[in-house]
Structure 1
Amino acid sequence: MKANQHLHQIINGTLVLSVAGLLAKVLGAIYRVPFQNLVGDTGYYAYQQIYPFYGIEVTLALTGLPVFISRLVAEQDNRQDQLAVARLCRRLLCVAGLLIFAVLTLGSQLISKMMGDTHLQAVILGLAPIFLLMPWLAVGRGVQQGMLNMYPTAISQVGEQVVRVTWIIGVAVIATTQRWNSYRMASWAMVSALVAGLVAFMILIYTNLPLWKNQQRHPSPLTKRQLTRRLLTEGVLLCWLASITVILQLVDSFTVKRALVVAGGVSEAAAHASKGVFDRGQPLLQLGLVIATSLSATLLPSLSEKWHQGDRQTFVHTYRVLFHVCIMMATMAAFGMMILMPLINTFLFKNSRGSGALMVLMLAIPLAALVSAFCAVLQSIHSLKPMAGGLFAGLIVKCCINYPLTRKWGIDGAAWGTVLSLLVTMIIVWQALPQLLRRHRHGGKFVGKLLTITAFMTVLAGGSASLMKCYFGGGRLQAALVLLVAITIGAASAGWLVIRWHLLDDEELIALPGGKRLVTMMTKDNKENDSNETR
């Protein structure tokens, strides 16, 4: 009875956290569309240049470090040890947060100079204070997650994102009406991180009162040296994995604009606008990865449990669900957006500038989804070195090729830099998987069906869009109508073929949004057909 209650608590908590994470990610992607529409490509550039630093802070405070801390807390035998470890972790993270704050504040001029735009210094200074709050947010969330209470993390995450998005849109409206320059607007937009962080802290403080109180100290079962070592290995690796696309964006911030100017024939203003156009792909990339990465995080505990229990059959089956659903959703989202990109670009961002680069960037969706899935498996079997090697190799590739590719091909080259770096990472982490997974006998058949279905979907959606565009024209309102029809046709055809060709089994279908209802309907239809045949 107690074991069932514990299992129910885990499943319920995972569901709450997944829904909150999904909602926060969708909000975090969608707000950029009205924001870009209000401030234009140049204003969007000023904001996006520094955004990767915020994305890294989010990883530290919301995903990577809370997961690491929750593991530390779950390992302890009693409440006093849990709180003692959490307090020690908070002290170490306060030092780290202070160091990052100092680097960003004192080095803001140098960082902006390295990015090729000294006006970005004010934007960096607007963001830096959030790192002082990071330790309190990460530990507050991690402690509760370690005790299987996911609600504080979920509520604080959604509350933080709502406040931040509201602040940013408000700043964009004021900046537009008051005619602020792009850098003033971006620096005030970055202040949203601190305001939203304080709101999240207020939410968390009520659920972690024993942690904040100055009660009698209990010695930590882990020494400072032990915890530091684990923080610099497990903690850093978890954060790196969670922020892989953000770190690649950070490389873009240091290379793309400078490469565009150095390449010749491009003015500073034109380079700013081009980088802003390239950054249009980030919310699209984020939305494309929402389902795939959420599923990886959800199935990780199950993979880990089955591996350590020696239940290889269930482990392989869980991996198959993860692999099939991740790659199917990511591949269809990527190729669907690629074929419709000029229309998506026009509808969301007013014009179709940079559609070629954005199409290339969408190839990163299935690659990043596979990296996420494969790394979830490696985490579950505690094979961390190959994962670290793959992530590091991908980053080195991006750093080495991004600047020369951008000089030669502009923002198209930067998009290829992201794709190639993720490809390298994906190959390395795939090679590190256990052989029983790499030899998975259903993989080839599944991939063949998936590519065929995706091709049909792409042809139908792209063909219908081309025909309608010839009839309706190429304006923004017309693009919205054409997209609505094309997406409906593409999704309906893909869904019908997935069911008709049995691409996914019932358990894999249930992992999809609305999948449970779909399986129930299919089972009912099959029973009715069997009954009719019997008659």
Structure 2
Amino acid sequence: MKETASPSSRLLRGAFILVLAAILSKLIGTIQKIPLQNIGGDGVFGIYNAVYPFYTLVLLVATAGFPAAVSKFVAEEMASGREAGARRVLRISSMMLVVLGVLFGVLMYVAAPLLAAWIDNMHTEAALRSAALALPLVPIMAGLRGYFQGMHDMMPTAVSQVAEQTVRVAAMVALLLWLHQLGAADDWIAAGATFGSAAGGAAGLLVMLIYWWLYRRRTRLAAIQVQVEQAPVQHQPAWPLLKALLLYALPICLGSLSAPLISLVDTFTMPRLLKASGWSEAEAMIQFGVYNRGIPLVQMMSMLATSMSVLFIPALADARIRDRHDLIRSQTQQTVNWFWLLGLASSAGIAMLAMPVDIMLYEDAIGSDTIRWLAFTGIGATLSIVTAALLQGMGSVRAPAIHLLLATIVKAVLNIVLVPHYGINGAAIAGIVAYSLAALLNIILLIRLTQFPVSWREMVWKPLLVTIVMCAGVGVWQWLMDWLLPALGMHARLEALIVTLGGIAIGGILFLIGLFRTQLMTEQQAAALPKIGSRLVPWLNKLRIIKK
């Protein structure tokens, strides 16, 4: 007899599917910036990175919170056996989302010259208009995702996320190659790249519409087979439901807006400040492109934190409901310690390998210094994401958003102070301070709420020791390769690839050894790792890495 999956197992499986899809789609979205710079150059790269945070912000205003809101109300209707009510939630939310998407799309398209003037670079105008074309498509897709999530079916969301990113990148690369071959100007090449968002939005929407059609066809056939007479739908006023959706979605929207605001600070301040420092409009965009070389690396660091953070909220919420303060305290302490260690080691590793990574990915080393500075924004970014999720899981929704808004203000002020003196490196330093401030404020609040013990030895000195040993090993590897590889006459990018991959391998091994020798991870914790723990521990014991 076939067992029916329990609600909790369905939720865990759904969360796992969403995490995998989020990691894959974010990985695709991050890696796509490398061919963008390689094909278009730093000027196109700068324009794209000036426009994309603004597009993301507008998109979040139009959609953020609505998938979660629709999911909640649909789940409630389905739990009460009111499938018609669930469809009514989708219908009303979809009408509102379509209106918002079209409205914001038209406003962004029409106001593109004004926005370009605010950015202080008219080269961004065509790209702003191109990005605006995606806005009418994406909101309705968000509503459909929320509907299926409300029925605990995460697969449509996962497939549409991956399809959206894959088509977006494919369209972007195709247009980049075509426009570059035509000899188009940088602003039109960047506009072709941002048009990928519209192509991706159309693909994601198409996937959701196919799932919706299959679902409606399946439910109609099931109703005919069992000859179910559905209760007539009561025509209730739409405004109460619409108001409830808005009230539920608004706090989530405000929390989501905080993160892209820091990126938007760079968009609205750096081109202006660089021009004031003596760069021309085109040169300022090239400098902005060089600055953004390190951003995908930092995004890959925080990508894991973002994807895993969705798992902390329900776990902590459940512990809070059951009044398990001991569980909340231990989970919070362990999570903060782990992500601080991972953020520190990853940032230090990127900083050590900045020059070979820059050559490997972008053909030259002119962005190496900035990549070194930007690498350390990853510590604060990673910790601020994870600690915000922990706070939300304990019911503190507004505080992390306020902390990140405060960090945004600090970032803007420091950009104004530092960029005229230190150029793009000044903006990177401002980012380190801003993200670190948000993370620190979140951690202080977590300590106050959970009373988890703070051990300087475990939280600071041991992670620093492991990171220093790791960096020393990577430094020795780089010194040896700088001595050996030039004699072989290899291409510069191949040399950089060898140095980078070897450095990652050596750094990873030394990090793993340090992790167990300092007992930052124990044998029991390693054995508890899902899927790999049972295989990892015997291998580590054989190599005598685990300290007994």
The CA distance in 1 between the partners of 2:7 and 2:523, in whole Å, is 26
Q: Which runs of 5+ in 2 are unaligned?
A: 220-231
CA drift of 1:60 comes to: 6.6
Partners of 2:6 and 2:372 in 1: how far apart?
47
Q: Are the aligned partners of 1:386 and 1:428 in contact in 2 as well (CA < 8 Å)?
A: no
Once the 2 structures are TM-superposed, how far is the Cα of residue 85 of structure 1 from its aligned partner? 3.1
Deviations 1:382-406 (A, max 9, x none): 2123123212211222222223321
Letter of the 2:501 partner, please give it: L
Q: 2:128 aligns with which of 105, 110, 124?
A: 124
1:318 to 323, 327, 331: 331
> For each residue in 1:53-99, what CA deviation from the matched residue of structure 2 results, as whole angstroms up to 9, or x when unmatched?
34346657887542343234334443344333333333333333233
Could you tell me which of 252, 256, 273 is aligned with 1:259?
Answer: 273
Residues 254, 401 of structure 2: 8 Å contact kept: yes
Instruction: Say whether the 8 Å CA contact 2:126–2:191 is kept in structure 1.
Output: yes
Query: Is 1:522 matched with 2:534?
Result: no
> Which position in structure 2 is the counterpart of 1:71?
72
Task: Say yes or no: does 1:102 pair with 2:120.
Answer: no
Q: Is the 8 A contact 2:28 2:166 kept in 1?
A: yes
Aligned to 1:504: 521
Q: Letter of the aligned partner of 2:247 in structure 1?
A: R
Q: Secondary structure at the match of 2:6?
A: helix
- Kindly indicate whether the alpha-carbon contact (under 8 Å) linking 1:460 and 1:490 is maintained by their aligned counterparts in 2: yes
Equivalent residue runs for 1:171-190 within 5 Å: 171-190=175-194
**Is 2:246 aligned against 1:228?**
yes
User: Which of 421, 434, 437 is the aligned partner of 1:424?
Assistant: 437
Unpaired stretches in structure 1, ≥5 consecutive residues: none
**SS in structure 1 of the partner of residue 135 of structure 2:** helix
Which position in structure 1 is the counterpart of 2:281?
268
Determine if contact 1:259/1:403 at 8 Å carries over to the other structure.
Answer: yes
Question: Partner letter of residue 6 of structure 1?
Answer: P
Describe the SS at the equivalent of 2:136.
Answer: helix
Please tell me whether the aligned partners of residues 527 and 537 of structure 2 are also in contact (alpha carbons under 8 angstroms).
no
Match of residue 6 from structure 1: 7
Query: Structure 1 residues 221, 449: closer, same or farther in 2, change over 3 A?
Result: farther
**Structure 1: how far apart are the matches of 2:216 and 2:443?**
41
Q: Where does residue 197 of structure 2 map in the other structure?
A: 193
Question: RMSD in angstroms over aligned alpha carbons?
Answer: 3.0
Paired residues of 1:137 and 1:200 also in contact (CA < 8 A) = yes
Tell me how far 1:475 sits from its aligned partner.
2.4
Distance 1:45 1:526, change over 3 A: closer
The 3 A distance-change label for structure 1 pair 147 and 319 is farther
Cα distance between partner residues in 1 of 2:370 and 2:479: 20
Hey, what does 1:89 align to over in structure 2? 93
Equivalent-residue separation in structure 1 for 2:358 and 2:254 (angstroms): 35
Mark the CA change 1:64 to 1:331 in structure 2 (over 3 Å): closer, same or farther.
farther
Aligned-pair distance for 1:281? 1.4
Amino acid at match of 1:129: L
Question: What's the counterpart of residue 52 of structure 1?
Answer: 53
For 2:534 and 2:360, the matched residues in 1 are separated by 35
Rounded to whole Å, the distance in 1 between the matches of 2:105 and 2:115 is: 13
Pick from 266, 281, 288 the counterpart of residue 294 of structure 2.
281
* Contact 1:65–1:238 under 8 Å retained in 2: no
Whether the 8 Å contact between 2:58 and 2:104 is mirrored in structure 1 is: no
Q: 1:19 maps to which residue? A: 20
Q: Is the Cα–Cα contact under 8 Å of residues 179 and 192 in structure 2 kept in the other structure?
A: no
Determine the structure 2 residue equivalent to 1:400. 413
Q: 2:153 aligns with which of 144, 149, 152?
A: 149
Give the letter for the 1:487 counterpart: I
Partner in structure 2 of residue 239 of structure 1: 256
C-alpha contact 2:69 2:245 (8 A) present in aligned 1: no
Q: Is the 8 A contact 2:53 2:264 kept in 1?
A: yes
* Distance in 1 separating the partners of 2:63 and 2:241: 25
- Percentage of matched positions with identical amino acids: 26
Q: Is the 8 A contact 2:64 2:249 kept in 1?
A: no
Partner of 1:478: 495
Residues 482-514 of structure 1 show CA distances to partners (whole Å, capped at 9, x for unaligned) of: 1122221111111122133321246754787xx
Q: Secondary structure at the match of 2:440?
A: helix
**How far apart, CA to CA, are the structure 1 residues paired with 2:74 and 2:446?**
28
Give the whole-Å Cα distance in 2 for the aligned partners of 1:217 and 1:155: 34
Q: TM-score, normalised by structure 1?
A: 0.89
How many residues of Structure 1 are paired with residues of Structure 2 in the alignment? Answer: 522
Structure 2 residue aligned with 1:133: 137
Report the alpha carbon displacement of residue 16 of structure 1 after superposing the two structures with TM: 1.0
Q: Give matches, 1:211-226, under 5 Å.
A: 219=236, 222-226=240-244
Query: In the TM superposition, what whole-angstrom CA distance separates every residue of 1:97-127 from its partner, at most 9, and x where no partner exists?
Result: 2332233122111100111111321111111
Q: Deviations over 1:231-259 (max 9, x none)?
A: 33x23134225xx1x33222111111111
**Shift in CA distance, 218/435, structure 1 to aligned 2, threshold 3 Å:** farther
* Alignment check: 8 A CA contact 1:16 1:154 kept: yes
- Displacement of 1:476 in angstroms is 2.2
Taking a change above 3 Å as real, the CA distance of residues 527 and 66 of structure 1, as seen in their structure-2 partners, is: same
State the partner residue of 1:35: 36
* Structure 2 CA distance for aligned equivalents of residues 73 and 221 of structure 1: 17
Report the residue type matching 1:366 in the other structure.
I
**Does structure 1 residue 341 correspond to structure 2 residue 351?**
no
Aligned letter for 2:496? A
CA–CA separation in structure 2 for the residues paired with 1:517 and 1:224: 46
How far apart are the structure 2 equivalents of 1:448 and 1:62?
43
One-letter amino acid of the counterpart of residue 262, structure 1:
A
CA distance in 1 between partners of 2:3 and 2:89 (Å) = 26
Q: Which amino acid aligns with 1:227?
A: L
Quote the Cα distance in structure 2 between the aligned partners of 1:200 and 1:336.
36
The alpha-carbon deviation at position 9 of structure 1 amounts to 0.7
**Does the CA contact (< 8 Å) of 2:74 and 2:150 recur in 1?**
yes
1:229 deviation in Å? 3.0
Question: Contact conserved, 1:68 with 1:235, CA < 8 A, in 2?
Answer: no
Contact 2:325-2:450 at 8 Å conserved across structures:
no
Mark the CA change 1:323 to 1:269 in structure 2 (over 3 Å): closer, same or farther: same
> How much does 1:145 deviate?
1.4
User: Distance in 1 between the 2:95 and 2:455 partners?
Assistant: 49
Q: Which moved more, 1:12-21 or 1:446-455?
A: 446-455
